[in-house]
Amino acid sequence: DAGVIQSPRHEVTEMGQEVTLRCKPISGHNSLFWYRQTMMRGLELLIYFNNNVPIDDSGMPEDRFSAKMPNASFSTLKIQPSEPRDSAVYFCASSLSRANVLTFGAGSRLTVL
């Protein structure tokens, strides 16, 4: 298995632009998580899905952030409009819901100028 695949690996954009981050979880995993990592705040859970359904989005910073999981093999995290304080590394992780063992992707490093 290729593991959790995230794209893009790096994105540099200007304030106000829309950013879409993509994630392909491990085949067979039914839970998907979006995390954000910064030096100041560490790893923060933004949202997670079970069987493509959002379960807990309490970590989503504000309405500028949205996440979707249209099917078991794909999820997106969208920021619109982006702001400099959104600069961070965004990680996607997947797991089997009964196992609670997360497999992380390599992350998407976002820089908003």
Cβ contacts of 61 within 8 Å, gap of 6 or more? 46, 86
Assess 60 for contact with other proteins (CB under 8 A).
no
Among 12, 55, 85, 113, binds other proteins (CB under 8 A): 55
String of contacts with other proteins for each residue 2-31, x by CB under 8 A: --x--------------------------x
Among 73, 78, 104, 111, binds other proteins (CB under 8 A): 104
Q: Which of 14, 15, 18, 43 touches other proteins (CB under 8 A)?
A: 43
84 preceded by a cis bond (ω within 30 of 0): no
* Residue 113 binds other proteins (CB under 8 A): no
CB of 112 to other proteins, least distance (A): 20
Answer for which of 50, 73, 76, 111 binds other proteins (CB under 8 A) is 50
